[in-house]
Amino acid sequence: MAQGQAVVEVDRPDRKARRAAGKSDPIDAESAARAALNRVRTGLPKQRDGMVEALRNLRVARRSAVSQRADCMRRIKTLIITAPQELRERLRDLSDTQLLRLCAGLRPNLSLVGEPEQAAKVALRALGHRHAALSEEIAELEALIAPLVEQSPLSAGADVLFSADPLVPLGSIPDGVTRGGPVDV
């Protein structure tokens, strides 16, 4: 209930009816209103409060950081491929951990930044620092996510990040799922 009014979520329009009537916002709005009044293709909307919403928000930030960190690593490896021969040879056979440590510790000569090798070192150092910062951010977010998942009724001692997966689509269920009972997800 929102301010005394029942809120109903309507699924997308019926494809057959939409094809027959054509695609337009006014027709879609009328179709949605008719579906809501007739209680066809409706469901309860997820509540946007409570622990599950907090978990959803934290996971958005974590997923973004993980994606950016992977992109950062791809950029480092691409820069190595196009780096001057001497620098490329030095970095080519390192493990990811060694590579990131070395990149973050590079000390380019900034007075010679117009030279390709020094410019590559500046870029690699910046990306190495960015990767480290993103790794720290991910660890901080995971530390915030873990207690929320452990408090949930669905956490059965499984990995915290995987336990969060079934919680978010469920949303905050008004009547809830009680701790200890079997749950079908």
185 in a domain, yes or no? no
pLDDT tier at 65 (50, 70, 90 boundaries)? very high
Q: What's the pLDDT at 164?
A: 55
Q: Which range marks the domain in which residue 26 is found?
A: 9-43
Q: Work out the burial of residue 125: count CB atoms within 10 Å of its CB; fewer than 13 is exposed, 13-18 middle, 19 or more buried.
A: middle
47: Cβ contacts below 8 Å, ≥ 6 apart: 53, 171, 172, 174
- Say if 179 falls within a structural domain: no
**Among residues of the chain, what percentage have pLDDT more than 90?**
48
Above 70 in pLDDT, residue 137? yes
Q: Which two tokens stand for residue 93?
A: 């056979």
Q: Does 54 share its domain with 133?
A: yes
Both 63 and 153 in one domain: the answer is yes
Residue at 176 is within a domain: no
Residue 73 burial (10 A CB sphere; 0-12, 13-18, 19+): middle
Q: Could you tell me if residue 2 is inside a domain?
A: no
* Residue 174 included in any domain: no
What percent of the chain is helix, strand and coil (3-state, nearest 5)? 65, 5, 30
Identify which has the larger pLDDT, 44 or 94.
Answer: 94
Partners of residue 2 on adjacent β-strands: 5
Q: Give dist(CA 144, CA 162) in Å, integer.
A: 15
Radius of gyration of the chain (CA): 25
Please tell me whether residues 92 and 28 are part of one structural domain: no
Beta carbons within 8 Å of 30's beta carbon, 6+ residues apart: none
Q: Verify that 59 and 127 share a domain, yes or no.
A: yes
Q: Does one domain contain both 69 and 154?
A: yes
- Say how many domains are in the chain: 2
Mean pLDDT confidence for 140-148 = 92
